[in-house]
């Protein structure tokens, strides 16, 4: 591992996947980072060590990610992980490995979009100040699930923030409605999903009180919009040894 605070040499696991290849492009374009290893299913993970990687990015598969991380932690290589499938058991196992390698950091993040993270944070901070709040997510019409995972998570965070602040239920006098007209109920918060050709991934949180509304909207027009979050993770990971869950812990959110 580099003696410097900052990561300089980066390996990418899952380098030939759709996400991994975007990550490779972003690392190569960053002046302060050097891409030293592209590793995919048929490559030997030991190449990370011979290439001198300070840190890896892992967008692979739940079936292989734990083996990858065991190797990395044992060799003191930091890891920034977007692969899914981490339950409490896996997180505990990771903490055990990291206890034996105290200078090494692992970041597990379900969402690397800084914009989505800011939107969720701002929605949760604002929610207790407003009587009403609803979530609208808008995506391309090829999406299979509704509402989106981000919209559900946003509604849950809003509901938790309102409960913590002692807010009552949002007002709604609807007595006659067509089925579905008022959206889905997620933890008491209404969530609406639109499917429109031409859109990519968009979400709006609308909060309202007497005489005013506050709207927080995130528009993601390109899947590459997650890469700044990955680079942020890479730049911060060496300064955060141990296990971190959620990129928001590396962001200065005021």
Residue closer to a copy of itself by CB (options 215, 249) is 215
Cα(232)–Cα(241) distance, rounded to whole angstroms? 15
Q: What are phi and psi of 174, to 5 degrees?
A: -55, 125
By CB under 8 A, tell whether 239 contacts a copy of itself. no
Closest distance of CB 246 from a copy of itself, Å: 14
Which window, 39-47, 68-76, 140-148, 239-247, contacts a copy of itself (CB under 8 A)?
Answer: 140-148
Which window, 41-49, 85-93, 101-109, 111-119, contacts a copy of itself (CB under 8 A)?
Answer: 111-119
Cα(247)–Cα(82) distance, rounded to whole angstroms? 10
Q: Is 254 exposed, middle or buried (0-12, 13-18, 19+ CB in 10 A)?
A: exposed
Residue closer to a copy of itself by CB (options 102, 211) is 211
Asked about 4 being catalytic, the answer comes back as: no
Q: Which of 139, 192, 202, 218 is catalytic?
A: 139
Cα(149)–Cα(225) distance, rounded to whole angstroms? 17
By CB under 8 A, tell whether 197 contacts a copy of itself. yes
Would you say the C-alpha torsion 11, 54, 7, 232 has a positive or negative sign? positive
Q: Using CB under 8 A, pick the residue from 216, 237, 238, 243 that binds a copy of itself.
A: 216
């Amino acid at each position: 591992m580099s003696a410097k605070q900052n990561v300089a040499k980066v390996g990418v696991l899952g380098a030939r996947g759709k996400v991994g290849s975007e990550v490779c492009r972003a690392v190569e374009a960053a002046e302060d980072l050097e891409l030293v290893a592209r590793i995919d299913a048929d490559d030997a993970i030991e190449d990370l060590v011979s290439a001198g990687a300070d840190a890896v990015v892992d967008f692979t598969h739940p079936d292989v990610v734990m083996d990858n991380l065991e190797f990395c932690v044992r060799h003191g290589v930091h890891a920034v992980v977007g692969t899914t499938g981490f339950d409490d058991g896996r997180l505990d196992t990771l903490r055990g490995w990291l206890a034996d390698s105290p200078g090494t950091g692992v970041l597990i993040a379900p969402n690397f979009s800084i914009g989505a993270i800011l939107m969720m944070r701002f929605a949760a901070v604002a929610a207790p100040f407003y009587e009403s709040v609803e979530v609208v997510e808008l995506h391309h019409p090829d999406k299979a699930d509704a509402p989106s995972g981000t919209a559900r998570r946003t509604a849950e965070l809003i509901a938790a923030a309102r409960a913590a602040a002692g807010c009552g239920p949002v007002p709604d006098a609807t007595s006659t409605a067509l089925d579905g007209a008022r959206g889905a109920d997620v933890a008491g918060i209404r969530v609406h999903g639109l499917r429109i050709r031409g859109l990519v991934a968009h979400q709006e949180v609308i909060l309202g009180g007497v005489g005013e509304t506050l709207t927080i909207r995130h528009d993601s027009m390109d899947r590459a919009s997650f890469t700044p979050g990955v680079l942020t993770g890479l730049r911060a990971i060496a300064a955060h040894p141990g296990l971190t869950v959620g990129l928001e812990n590396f962001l200065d959110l005021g």
